Structure 1
Amino acid sequence: MRASVGDRIIVEGTRPGAARRDGEVVALHHDDGSPPYDVRWSDTGRVSECFPGPDARIHHYTGPGTQDRPHLSRG
Structure 2
Amino acid sequence: MAKRQTRRSISVKGITYQRLKDYCDASGCSVSGYLEEIIAEKLDAAGIPVPTVLKARPERKPETQTEEIVSQHFTF
- TM-score of Structure 1 vs Structure 2, range by shorter chain: under 0.3
* TM-score w.r.t. length of structure 2: 0.19
Which of the two has greater strand per residue? 1
Greater helix share, structure number: 2
* More contact order relative to length (CA 8 Å, sep ≥ 6): 1
Taking structure 1 as the reference length, what is the TM-score of the superposition? 0.19
